[in-house]
A = this chain, B = another copy of it.
Amino acid sequence: MRIALAQLNYHIGHFEANTLKIVDTAIKAQKLGADLTVFAEMAISGYPPRDFLEFEDFINRCEAQLDRIAEACYDIPIILGAPIRNTTQKGKPLFNAAVYLFQGKKQYFRKGLLPDYDVFDEYRYFEPADRFECLNFKGRKIALTVCEDLWNVEDHPLYVKQPMEELILEKPELIINIAASPFDYHQAEKREKVLRKNVEKYQLPLLYVNHVGAQTELLFDGGSMAMDRNGRIISRLHFFEEDLRIVDLDNDDAHPVDDLPGKIERIHDALVMGIRNYFEKLNFTKAVLGLSGGLDSAVTMVLASRALGSKNVHAVLMPSQFSSDHSVQDALDLAKNLGSPYQTIPIKELYIGFEKELSESFQGKTFDVTEENIQARIRGVLLMALSNKFGYILLNTSNKSEAAVGYGTLYGDMNGGLSVLGDVYKTEVFELARFINRDREIIPENTINKPPSAELHPDQKDSDSLPEYELLDRILHAYIEQRMGPEAIAKLGFDPQIVARVLRLVNLNEYKRYQSPPILRVSPKAFGMGRRLPIVARYLS
């Protein structure tokens, strides 16, 4: 039996495009000799459609497209994911289902385990299924499951139910899992481990089909695969690209499978895809960003150039009286290295203008964070003016360490349509820069080696007001990714006072992050939709 794994990049709500893509791929797979073509979870709508699922009209369109596909592929057996209605009069109005289409027949296989943590909200929309049965396909039984249904294999399982325990009673020959499983830098290993646990437990081969492509902050890396009953990966589809592969289950020789790339390379590739898809799906082609000569804007600029083409990334240098000469030079060097358009707009006169208009109000007051913020906000106004006038999307260049402790100006350097590095700690930004420069100097070495500074007052360095990033990032990781408390973090060997100060900064700055642009998610715990905290609270703050 030859089964095609179709790993595609869908666009949420863009039914015409998704349908065309599914139909074309099914026809192509059939021509290549596939007996059955498998698409990802919720392929019909793209994932996650979020509250569009609450709109009757949206569900009607899902159903209409399903009919269109069924008609266009009448003689082609297809499995794909779609939301379907709960007709039982009890429970949530929808199920998340795998749908089997063939010759006018529609068969539904409902998801039983609904992820509702981090970025997932599935119980918001779907009723969990409580009965499971196999698909009969050409006389063979297939345990057809949807994503999380295979993930309940921990020692302390998150769900009381276990769909495979029921399905295995029918003695299937194969497990198929359709998924919408977003990227983080650990996900490929986690996924492989979880799938292998199922294979070993049930002694069955497994086919896994995931999404690829970015949906705002959520990045899907693909990595669809076929695993034989011994847990060997016999085929793995490309990461970060659409792919179509046919697996012959009656002749399941392993194909050579590439090693997984390292963490930093994965982050690099994920971010490039994230930028590219954000622009493509919004119908934009050009980006603008403020290039300071510092590390974060340099790395953002390189990633954007790789995503959009360097001619499409406009760099703006906006030196103030506090900017050092070397910063300006480093910024110019980078723009020239990349061959990107750039321009310089000094902010000194504008800053003096604000000083003048505010002089009466500020009489007798000393220079403080207010004046630092005014500089950052003037830059924000200039960048947004260029964005508005020329139809550029402004890229935000803040990193995760800054976002965590609130080291950034709301409506200033926190501006942007998309945050590229908001889920990358400063120490990881350094690693990204080294990775980018691994063959030749693209980012000026001076940008990488000088002490980080916001250059908002004379001789300022980040370390004046923050712990060194090596230390800071480890504390942040323990708190944000591992959700450890202050005492547990201190026990790792950190000064309890520094720990308390860092955690306080994180919690106090929830209000700033509330207004942050969407952040490309590369870690298991990114700021944004997967981390939900109250603003008005007093816990560790």
Contacts and interface: CB of A to CB of B under 8 A. Distances in A.
B536 A215 contact: yes
Interface in A386-400: 386, 388-389
Given A370-B385, A536-B281, A537-B49, A357 B362 contact: no
Interface residues of A, number: 98
Interface string A210-239: 000011100000000000000000000000
A158 B377 contact: no
B381 A156 contact: no
A452 B289 CA distance: 35
How many copies of the chain does the oligomer comprise? Answer: 2
Nearest to A380: B411
A492 interface: no
Given A377-B381, A389-B368, A350 B361 contact: no
Interface stretch (A89-97, A104-112, A178-186, A436-444): A89-97
Given A14-B538, A411-B384, A534-B49, A511 B417 contact: yes
A386 B537 CA distance: 25
Contacts of A116: 116, 121, 123-124
B216 A11 contact: no
Contacts of A389: 361-362, 365, 368, 370
With a 10 A CB-CB cut-off, give which of A214, A511, A538 has the most chain B CB atoms: A538
A352 to B, nearest CB: 9
Given A354-B385, A485-B56, A485-B60, A50 B349 contact: no
A378 interface: yes
Contacts of A114: 123
B52 A533 contact: yes
A160 B14 CA distance: 33
Contacts of A538: 11-14, 17, 281
Given A12-B536, A485-B60, A516-B515, A381 B378 contact: yes
A409 to B, nearest CB: 9
